[in-house]
């Protein structure tokens, strides 16, 4: 495999990973993202990673004659798997800086690349049109409807991924298009089911043959699903379950603002929906919100913060945000 370093500072990082991949150990240690708690170290079998990579390579018919891009850090499973896929096919691997606009000055096309949402959005807004045609995988964190459509307006062959560290990267893909309700479809060798409303992933490669997730899902078939939100984040308002991610997406679509939705203790309802806004955000009113939300979903209080904390791969660090918000004063939305 040929490696071209557009960022010379990453040479040792890539070499160290390839050395780990080629050593005699059957496992690699990979850290989880830490978006819902402390990051944990997971021992992943290299054989599991290899089979995951082969499914992606087969699905997209990726070949040795192609150029792949590495825009992700090798501290993440997504970055590691890009190198593994390039190694298995002997694609030419172009190593770029890990920043929010990795292709801003790149004047040649790539056949295959992977990015977190902020990188894909910045590429769509700032990069050359030569990057429109290559295959792009977008993952690491969720996309709002506005982001989904902005990305689809630039890239012609782009997919949002679903997966986690435990599954050795993605197990399912959904085409990024103008249809935000596009479902995820699993790759060959996987199937899905649900238990207590949460997604379960079945694969003969897993030690226990199944991995249970904390993602509430709408199961369309054993090969297709939609994600509703995280079990960890559910707000229980008077016995009604409210999914913060759904509220955040609708507010973003309505007002084009970045926000965070968290539970706020309430004597009557147990919990109500609280809206966390940054300093420059417009504060919505009940009048502008009420037609878009059910009574239990309607944000009733808000607080202002300087910034929202994110993990390295672009997920909201909800655990850290809840810590930051402990002593914040809440005001009623009028």
The pTM assigned to this predicted structure is: 0.88
Q: What is the mean pLDDT of the chain?
A: 93
Cβ atoms of 301 and 332 closer than 8 Å: yes
Neighbours of 82 (CB within 10 A): 27
> Residues 230-242: pLDDT tens digits?
998 899 998 899 9
What domains are defined for the chain?
A: 3-182 (3.40.50.12780), 189-231 (no CATH), 234-332 (3.30.300.30)
Alpha-carbon distance of 80 to 85, in angstroms, equals 9
- Of 240, 245, 251, the C-alpha closest to 295 is 240
Greatest distance between any 2 Cα atoms in the chain: 64
pLDDT of residue 35: 55
The more confident residue out of 317 and 7 is 7
> Residues 19-66: pLDDT tens digits?
999 999 999 999 876 555 566 889 999 999 999 999 999 999 999 999
State the pLDDT confidence band at 288, using cuts at 50, 70 and 90. Answer: very high
pLDDT of residue 123: 95
E strands along 32-153, which residues? 41-45, 67-70, 92-95, 112-115, 135-138
């Amino acid at each position: 495999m040929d490696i071209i370093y557009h960022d010379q500072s990453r040479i040792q990082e890539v070499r160290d990973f390839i050395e780990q991949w080629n050593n005699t150990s059957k496992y690699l240690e990979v850290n989880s993202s830490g978006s819902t708690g402390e990051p944990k170290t997971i021992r992943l079998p290299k054989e599991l990673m290899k089979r995951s990579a082969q499914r992606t390579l087969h699905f997209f018919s990726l070949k040795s004659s192609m150029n792949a891009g590495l825009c992700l850090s090798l501290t993440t499973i997504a970055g590691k798997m890009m190198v593994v896929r390039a190694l298995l096919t002997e694609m030419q691997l172009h190593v770029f800086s890990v920043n929010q606009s990795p292709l801003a000055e790149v004047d040649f096309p790539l056949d295959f690349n992977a990015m977190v949402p902020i990188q894909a959005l910045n590429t769509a807004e700032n990069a050359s049109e030569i990057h429109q045609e290559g295959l792009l995988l977008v993952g690491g964190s969720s996309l709002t409807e506005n982001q989904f459509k902005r990305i689809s307006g630039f890239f012609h062959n782009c997919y949002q991924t679903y997966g986690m560290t435990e599954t050795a990267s993605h197990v399912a893909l959904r085409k990024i298009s103008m249809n935000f309700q596009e479902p995820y479809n699993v790759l060959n060798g996987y199937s899905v089911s649900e238990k207590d409303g949460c997604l379960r992933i079945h694969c003969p490669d897993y030690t226990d043959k199944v991995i249970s997730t904390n993602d509430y899902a709408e199961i369309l078939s054993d090969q297709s699903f939609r994600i509703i939100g995280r079990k960890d984040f559910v707000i229980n308002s008077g016995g009604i379950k409210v999914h913060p991610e759904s509220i955040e997406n609708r507010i973003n679509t309505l007002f084009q603002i970045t926000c965070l939705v968290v539970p706020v203790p309430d004597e009557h309802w147990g919990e109500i929906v609280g809206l966390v806004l940054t300093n420059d955000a417009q504060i919505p009113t009940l009048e502008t919100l009420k037609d878009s939300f059910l009574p239990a979903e309607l944000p009733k209080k808000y607080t202002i913060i300087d910034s929202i904390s994110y993990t390295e791969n672009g997920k909201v660090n909800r655990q850290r945000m809840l810590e930051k918000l402990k002593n914040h004063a809440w005001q009623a939305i009028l």
